[in-house]
Every structure is written in structure tokens, then in C-alpha cells.
Amino acid sequence: MIKVKLADLTIGIKCPAATQDLELNTKNRNNAIQADYIQYGPLNVDEPGDYWEKIADHWDTTEEAAKKSLCGNCTAFDISPRMKECMPGETSDEDGELGYCHMHKFKCHSARSCYTWAKGGPIEDDDISIDWQTKGEEEQLDEKREKRKKKKKSSGKKDACYYKVKSRYSVFPSAYASGALVKCRKVGAKNWGNSKKNESIEEALDPQEKKELRTIKMQLNKSAAKHARQAKQATDIAQASEKSSNLHAKQVKTIDKMLGEELIPGGLGSELTGDVEHQHKKIADMHNISVEDVEKQIQKGIEVEMEHTSDPEYAHEIAMDHVIEDPNYYDKLVKLKLEAKRKLTSKPSSETNLRDWFKRKGSPGKTGGWVDCNTCRNGKCKPCGRQEGEKRAKYPACRPTPAACKESGRSKTWGKKSAKEKNNERINRKF
């Protein structure tokens, strides 16, 4: 060990920070007063209260013995010449003198004491003073270094699990990513995340995440129950309104029948009188057809008109008006609808379904139908539909004719891409 003389050190040794900084000194002193293991006091030397009684109980001694264990004779109490120069103003009074406590880093009075008192003081030699100060500063530095190392070790560890978890989570760092990182380090980077077959969602959640999910679940259940009640109330109101509306409509019809008035005034059937059968017979005589034909047409008419009304009697009267106008009205209406559907294709006379539409173009020959653009060679293509047991390199990309295969498809090539093509595209995007 190399010993250095005091004369060589005094130039670089500064006064303790608390002797020069009032705020720091006050902070350290207050900590010493409030800390259960220090209990620096008494606050007022002249009126100590029960301080000496408490400190005597703590040390299991008498008050007289406790009063002799003062800061003034503590091994950490520094009143050396160099330390007195660090003190501002006068350092002594009638009760004692002011010194520096190397143990708790503040200016303390010789007439006070604390639980950490130790025999062997005071410090009156500059060499011992410097030795105490330098040791204390080294210990503080060591503590800071140790804390810094621990923090760096805990937060800055970037092992294989760190990079593996980071690549899996879009938000990193996060609560979920941190949980995954802990699990990865338990099982190892090689074993974590390779297979999800044996990992359930429940195992992937930590207790805090489970608690949060249960809270959300409870809130959602309450909200669902509230909406269900509101929906039921709305449904009940709607049903009551519908019943009321239907009742009023029936009452109106009853009054119309009592008055002998029509449901739809001014229709072609306004001249017909009598019951329904009598009216149907009059329509049959009007067109010189059977009553059965009239009833068939009216029944078809009711089915059609019920698309526009919920009242069968209204539908019946509308149907009668149309049949009076044309006895084959609803047969013609069905034909018109079929023709309108057939006009959706270019050959309505030959196409009645999707199979006919697919067969209207394709490769020449017996097979017919659309062609597979992935099989075209020199203007000839195989049919889109594969034969039983037939295998092809790519999934079929079907078009009506070989010429249509020249048009741009979903991408540069038709059909699904092979694994090699996908890999090449991925490499091209990357570079």
C-alpha cells in the first residue's frame, strides 16, 4: 500500500458538500431526525422533553448514561482545524460547538446525540479528518457505481430472447412483450415461440393481465345486459304499435263492409257486386273463360301483390282489377320477368343458367367451356375443368377464350405463384 502525506492531499481535498450547501445540509439533517434508526436530537437542548428517556430505553440504560453519549464524543464527529475552516461563521456556543458528522453527512451540534452514536471521538486531527472524508466519498461512489451496474444489467440486457421477442411484437417494449421476455428467459430462446400447440392463451397471460381482462369482461356483461333491456323495451313498444295499427285497420275494414264501400275506390272492380264467388263468375263471363281459370289468375295475383302490401283483401282487389283488364295478366307478368333475367346474357335463347353461360365460349373441340391460361401453348389451351386424376403445376386461371388470356390478370402471371416465384418477389422487394 502506498501512503500519501497530508501535504500532498490537502490541495485536492475539498470541504464536504453539506458544509457549503445549506439546502443539502438541511435535507440530510431532516432525514437524520425522521429516520427510525437514527433519531437525531433533541431539537432544543435546553428543553429536551422525553428525548433522553426514549434514547435510554433504546440503549437499555439510564438517562444519566445516555446523556453522556453525545455527538461531541462520537467517533464520526469532526472538529479538526480544516473542518472548522469549512464551517461558516462562529462554531461554538455556551452549550457546545458545531462539527461535521461523517456518518450522516451534515453539520451537527456536540450537545445532541442519535441512535448510531459510537465511542471514540471527536476527530481533532486533519489526517484523520481527510481519511474519514475520502473513505466516505469512495463508499458513495461505489454505491453509485453498483446502482448504475444493476440498472444497466436489468434494463440493457440484450440476449437472444430480447431480439426474438422484439421481432414477434409490433409494440416493443410493452406489458405483453415484457411478459413474453420473462417466459422466454425461463425456457430459453430455442424453446420459446417455436410451437403454439401446447401453449394456451391463459398460460400466456400474467396475473395482472388476467385481472384487467376480467374487469373488462364484467363491464361488457353489464353493457350487454343494459342494451338487451333497451332492445326489449323498444321491441315491446314496436309490437304494441303494430298490434294497435292492425286493430285500427280491421276496424276500418269492418266499417267499410257495413257501409258497402270499396277498399280501393275507383277500380275496375267497382261495378262488381255480391260476394267473392259471384264476382269471380262475373269476370269469367266477361272474358268467356272458366271460373277456375279466373281463380288461378287471381291467386297468382294475390301472391305477387302481397310483395307490396300486408293486407290479403287489398291484394285480392288489386288482382281482380288486373284480371278484369287482362285475364292472362299474371301469366304474362311471369314471362316478362323471365325474359328480363335472360337479357343479362348475350344469348338469352340458349342460356338459362350459369352452366350455359360458361359453355358459350372456350377452346374448340368436344370439351368446350373456359380455358386454363396457365396451360396455353402456341394459342392452344387445356379446358379449365380438370379431368379425373389430372394434375397441373399451377392452380387453374380460367378465362372464356385463349385470346382473353392475353389480357392483364391479377398479377404478372396467372393463377397462384409457386414457392420459388414468391421467394424471388420477396428478395426483389427487399433489395
Task: Give the predicted TM-score (pTM) of the model.
Answer: 0.34
Distances (CA, A) of 296 to 41, 73, 251, 255, 269: 114, 125, 30, 29, 17
Question: What pLDDT was estimated at residue 154?
Answer: 56
**Residue 205 and residue 200: Cα distance in Å, rounded?**
9
Average pLDDT over every residue of 386-403: 81
Average pLDDT over every residue of 344-350: 47
Neighbours of 313 (CB within 10 A): 15
**Residue 280 and residue 301: Cα distance in Å, rounded?**
13
Question: What pLDDT was estimated at residue 10?
Answer: 47
The secondary structure of the chain, three-state, reads CCCCCHHHHCCCCCCCHHHHCHHHHHHHHHHHHHCCCCCCECCCCCCCCCHHHHHHHHHCCCHHHHHCCCHHHECCEECCHHHHHHCCCCCECCCCEEEEECCCCEEEECCCECCCCCECCCECCHHHHHHHHHHHHHHHHHHHHHHHHHHHHHHCCCCHHHHHHHHHCCCCCCHHHHHHHHHHHHHCCCCCCCCCCCCCCCCCCCHHHHHHHHHHHHHHHHHHHHHHHHHHHHHHHHHHHHHHHHHHHHHHHHHHHHHCCCCCCCCHHHHCCCCHHHHHHHHHHHHCCCHHHHHHHHHHHHHHHCCCCCCHHHHHHHHHHHHHHCCCHHHHHHHHHHHHHHCCCCCCCCCCCHHHHHHCCCCCCCCCCCEEHHHCECCECCECCCCCCCCCCCCCCEECCCHHHHCCCCCCCCCCCCHHHHHHHHHHHHC
Question: What pLDDT was estimated at residue 228?
Answer: 85
For residue 361, pLDDT beyond 80: no
Q: What are phi and psi of 119, to 5 degrees?
A: -70, 150
> Exposure of 94 by Cβ count < 10 A (0-12 exposed, 13-18 middle, 19+ buried)?
exposed
Question: What pLDDT was estimated at residue 81?
Answer: 87
CB 62 within 8 A of CB 139: no
- Residue listed under C-alpha cell 386424376: 389
Average pLDDT over every residue of 174-202: 75
Question: What pLDDT was estimated at residue 250?
Answer: 66
Question: What pLDDT was estimated at residue 341?
Answer: 62
Q: What are phi and psi of 356, to 5 degrees?
A: -65, -40
For residue 301, pLDDT beyond 80: yes
For residue 2, pLDDT beyond 50: no
**Residue 330 and residue 299: Cα distance in Å, rounded?**
10
Partnered with residue 108 across adjacent β-strands are 99
CB contact burial 170-200 (16+ within 10 A = b; e otherwise):
eeeeeebbebbbebbbeeebeebbeeeeeee
For residue 412, pLDDT beyond 60: no
pLDDT tier at 238, thresholds 50, 70, 90: confident
More confident residue, 266 or 307: 307
- Three cell numbers, residue 33: 431526525
Question: What pLDDT was estimated at residue 5?
Answer: 41
Closest CA to 121 of 65, 84, 70: 70
More confident residue, 2 or 264: 264
Question: What pLDDT was estimated at residue 342?
Answer: 60
Closest CA to 413 of 429, 401, 425, 430: 425
Average pLDDT over every residue of 100-107: 87
Average pLDDT over every residue of 337-363: 56
Percent of the chain with pLDDT over 70: 73
For residue 195, pLDDT beyond 80: no
**Residue 180 and residue 193: Cα distance in Å, rounded?**
9
Q: Lowest-confidence range among 90-99, 165-174, 188-197, 261-270?
A: 261-270
Average pLDDT over every residue of 96-104: 86
pLDDT tier at 125, thresholds 50, 70, 90: confident
Question: What pLDDT was estimated at residue 3?
Answer: 38
Is the link from the previous residue into 122 a cis peptide, with omega within 30 of 0?
yes
Q: What is the pLDDT of residues 5-15, one digit of tens each?
A: 443 444 457 88
**Residue 303 and residue 312: Cα distance in Å, rounded?**
9
Mean pLDDT, the chain, rounded, equals: 76
Cα angle: 414, vertex 418, 423; to 5 degrees = 120
Q: What is the pLDDT of residues 30-79, one digit of tens each?
A: 888 888 888 888 888 888 888 888 888 888 888 888 888 888 889 888 88
For residue 413, pLDDT beyond 50: yes
Question: CB-side exposure of 13: number of CA atoms within 13 Å?
Answer: 25
CB 384 within 8 A of CB 371: yes
**Which residue type sits at 287?**
H
Closest CA to 277 of 262, 298, 259: 298
